Amino acid sequence: MRNPEDQRYLIAQTVLQVRSQHATSRRALADALRLSPTTAGLYVDHLIASGYLHENGLEKAPMGRPKRLLTTNAQAGWFAGIEFNAERIQAVSVDFSGHKTAKRIVSLPESVTPARVVSEIKSTISELAQNATGPLLGIGIGVPGLVDPGAGMAHEYAFIEGWKDVPLVQMLQEKVGAIVTMDNNLRVIALAERWFGGASELADYVILGPRSGFGCAIVIGGRVITGSSYGAGEVGRWPWGEGGEVHDVLSSPAVWRRLTGKSKRASLPPDLHAALAALAGQRGEERDAIVKDYARVLSSMHLLLDSHTWILHGPLTALGDEFCADIVAAASRMAPALRGKRIRLLRSQLGDNAGALGAASLAMEKWAP
């Protein structure tokens, strides 16, 4: 006899299997979760009775009897996904079946305080709730900077003054009445790729996130790697040159300044993505140098992780598929051990909502009845 916590976990896993369409019959669920058909059937019956699953229609099997098709009930409840930085809050609502139903963007004032950020997040969730169906089942937060998801603590983010050891989960949980979970914004983007993007069938992939800084999110065996102190993926802090770091030369602002010949302190354009898109066809020594620098990072990481796919996020996606292809070619030339090996570097297709979608994905994955 399993204890109640184990049963809750397996019931939640049943929902995830059906929602992802990896297992849409009782037999497939039993196989996927390594349960007896009887036990899997009991969990399915419980979820149907609770209004979380439907069972209808016939799914034709190659052999044997047809299988009843399991689907999630989109109206059983909803999840909120929030991702923010020093300039804006992105938010989405997602129904129980994992479909986006609404989105919001809230601009933040200059010199915004931690208290103001939390207040705006609460207001945004309230706005999403006005048109949502069913109860709010969970809230996911994608947080910039260093975080401790287990403690619900946002430790440090340099671009919001006073953002130091903010008990974010506690501050939100007291007001919203739903389970709040959080993680670093790049790690939630990795979940967005799993549920909404190009990684739905991948167990091993890496998100490359050269945005205002440069970090990555690593997924191995379907699990997002956090590190012993939740600092895994901080490649932007690698030493580079004489006293510099990788993010000094390879963040999105740094790449734009290099391509345009601007100084390191030059003001950025209002829309960095559009400004980089205008440079997508540019060729020259500086672009070649940027490609070579990225190839050095990619080749080093690939030799360490041997990941199936690398997914580029952020404004640099505007430089196009050729930018990615040139980096891969340069990486293969740079590291003899990689010659003959296939490296897949793709541009994400999720756009600006990726962080909020990832935060909603986090809430979906953490939900249990």
Q: Residue 346 belongs to what H/E stretch? A: strand 345-347
pLDDT in the model for residue 223 = 95
What is the set of domains in the chain, with CATH numbers?
A: 4-72 (1.10.10.10), 77-185+354-366 (3.30.420.40), 198-349 (3.30.420.40)
**Dihedral angle, C-alpha 195, 197, 199, 200, nearest 10 °:** 40
Mean pLDDT (the chain) is 93
- Determine the Cα angle at 193 with ends 25 and 273, to 5°: 155
**Region 130-154 average pLDDT:** 94
**Region 241-261 average pLDDT:** 94
pTM equals: 0.91
Question: Residue 332 is encoded by which pair of tokens?
Answer: 């293969």
Alpha carbons 186 and 183: distance in angstroms, whole number: 8
88 Cβ contact list (under 8 Å, min separation 6): 105, 106, 107, 108
**Region 30-47 average pLDDT:** 94
Is pLDDT above 90 for 67? no
Task: Considering only residues 327 and 111, tell me which one the structure prediction assigns the higher pLDDT.
Answer: 327
Q: Where are the beta strands (DSSP E) in 189-238?
A: 205-210, 214-220, 223-225
Q: Is the C-alpha dihedral spanning 215, 221, 224, 230 positive or negative? A: negative
- Count Cβ atoms below 10 Å from residue 60 Cβ, excluding itself: 7
Name the band, by pLDDT with cuts 50, 70 and 90, for residue 318: very high
pLDDT in the model for residue 62 = 58
Q: Residue 153 belongs to what H/E stretch? A: strand 153-156
Alpha carbons 260 and 254: distance in angstroms, whole number: 10
Closest to 219 measured CA to CA, from 229, 233, 231, 209: 233
Q: Is the C-alpha dihedral spanning 197, 287, 234, 85 positive or negative? A: negative
Is pLDDT above 60 for 1? no
Across the strands, what pairs with 219? 205, 224
Name the band, by pLDDT with cuts 50, 70 and 90, for residue 58: low
Name the band, by pLDDT with cuts 50, 70 and 90, for residue 194: very high
pLDDT in the model for residue 4 = 83
Task: Give the sheet arrangement for strand 88-95, strand by strand.
Answer: 100-107, 88-95, 78-84, 136-143, 180-184
**Region 291-308 average pLDDT:** 95
Q: Count how many Cα atoms sit within 13 Å of the Cα of residue 211 in the half-sphere of its side chain.
A: 19
Alpha carbons 142 and 356: distance in angstroms, whole number: 7
